[in-house]
Structure formats: structure tokens, C-alpha cells
Amino acid sequence: MNKASRKGEAIVLLSGGLDSATSAAWALAEGYSVTAISFDYGQRHRIELQAAKAVANDLGISDHVTLAIDLAAFGGSALVDQSIAVPKNRSEDVISNGIPVTYVPARNTVFLSLALALAETRNASSIILGVNSIDYSGYPDCRPEFLNAFESLANLATKSGVQGTHLTVLAPLVSLTKPEIIRLGLSLHVDYGLTTSCYDPKEGGQPCGECDSCLIRAAGFAAVNIPDPRVTAFMASKETNCGSDC
């Protein structure tokens, strides 16, 4: 799918999750030549890096950079600090109220800054990421105001910006709900069985089914009346391995 560009070079932040996979497929469908960037930042759900690699391969993205940075050294989030429990089985009202302990301090600012550096080396004029309306109800670095401010910074603080190459930060999913994102991805032939969204996966990457991200994802698939292919794959594997003893 990563064919000759109609819209120029773009850097896509690819976590291996549902939203970033959809954004990558959108970018390709729109005609961008895509370089993907993923981050090994000390996250407890490091299985997502395998998912990112699988998604990139499936979409035909050959230029895929995985960068190691140690945000776990700072702590301050359930996603990078094993002493902080990942919240489980919270109601929708609670999930959407306030900033959760799964917020990683300044993560999107750090990720976008590194993606900006990569954009300069690839002569890319766009950075694309998969933040959406569900996320920015709780995460301050997923809001349109933040993305607009970072775009202004990017054009002030880079050689390419100063020399007249305007860089845009695109969030094609920002106004979409999770069901709308899934429908978009299905129309773009995204293989959601390759993606993972769980914050606290079990051995082998099986989704816990109880964290905020799992619950939001499950509600999204339920709303479009199709089973989550990743959950279905693990269920099928379990039945195969244990047979009549399950």
C-alpha cells in the first residue's frame, strides 16, 4: 500500500493499537508516502511493539523506525511504573472523568518531538497520529488545542520550518468515536486482529478485558456488531489448546 506519494512524505506514530493502525491506513489511502515510528519507552504493554511491526508489514510500510527511550526512569504512570496498578472494570462515567493514572507525563509531547526530528531527516511535511475524542476527554496531550500548539512550535523550531517548508500535524480521528474509527478502519481493510489496545496484557499478549482501553475497545466493536478479532483469536487458541477440558 505504500506506493508513490501524491501528498508527500508523512511520519505516522504507530503504537500497534487500533487507532494508530487506522491512522496509518488512512494516510496511505490519502496518498502519503509513510514512515512509521514506534517507541519502546518502558511500557508494561510492550507487546504493542510486536503489533506495530505486524501492522506496518501488513500495510506495506517498509520504513519503520522503533526508538528506545526510558520514560520508566521517571515513573508517574501506571503504564511505566509497576508499583502503580492499572485501573480495572471502571464505569464509562468514571473513565471519562478526569486524568487517569495511565496518563504518561508529557508522552505525546516527547513522541511528537522525536517524530518531528525524524520528519526533518525524511523531508516529511506531515506528522500523523491517532488521537481521538475518547482520549482527549481524559488526556490533556490528545486535545486539538495541544496539536495546534505543537504544529506552531514545529514550524518555529526547525530548519525546515524556518526555510519555508510548512509542517502540519494531522489527527484524522480526533472527532471520531471508537465505533466510527472501527468503521473507517474496516473500510480501509485494517486487520484489527494484528492490533492490541490492552494496558495490562496477560502472558502472550492476551488482553486483560478489564482495563479502560480494553473496555473502550470492546464497546466500540459491540457498537458495530462485530467481534473483536484479537479477542476471538485468543479464545480460539485457548479452545484449541485445552480441548474438552476448557
pLDDT over threshold 80, residue 243: no
Q: Do the Cβ atoms of 5 and 36 come closer than 8 Å?
A: no
Is 244 or 167 the better-scoring residue by pLDDT? 167
Rg (CA), the chain: 18
Q: Which of 46, 84, 95, 108 is CA-nearest to residue 215? A: 95
Per the domain annotation, does 187 fall within a domain? Answer: yes
Per the domain annotation, does 197 fall within a domain? Answer: yes
Per the domain annotation, does 115 fall within a domain? Answer: yes
Predicted confidence at residue 98, as pLDDT, reads: 84
Per the domain annotation, does 4 fall within a domain? Answer: no
List pLDDT tens digits, range 183-240: 999 999 999 999 999 999 998 899 999 999 999 999 999 999 999 999 998 877 665 5
How far, in whole angstroms, is CA 168 from its chain's centroid? 18
Position 227, amino acid: P
Predicted confidence at residue 13, as pLDDT, reads: 98
Residues in the chain: 246
| Ramachandran category for residue 106: left, alpha or beta (phi over 0 → left; psi -120 to 50 → alpha) | left
Q: How confident is the model at residue 246 (pLDDT cuts 50, 70, 90)?
A: low
User: Distance between CA atoms of 127 and 220, rounded to whole angstroms?
Assistant: 26
List pLDDT tens digits, range 152-171: 999 999 998 999 889 999 99
Per the domain annotation, does 70 fall within a domain? Answer: yes
Per the domain annotation, does 232 fall within a domain? Answer: yes
Is 148 exposed, middle or buried (CB count within 10 Å of its CB: 0-12, 13-18, 19+)? exposed
Q: Do the Cβ atoms of 18 and 219 come closer than 8 Å?
A: no
Is 131 exposed, middle or buried (CB count within 10 Å of its CB: 0-12, 13-18, 19+)? buried
Distances (CA, A) of 187 to 22, 25, 61, 192: 10, 10, 19, 12
* The model's pTM: 0.92
Q: What CATH number does residue 232 fall under? A: 3.40.50.620
Per the domain annotation, does 27 fall within a domain? Answer: yes
Full residue range of the structural domain in which residue 14 is found: 9-241
Per the domain annotation, does 35 fall within a domain? Answer: yes
Q: What's the structural domain count of the chain?
A: 1
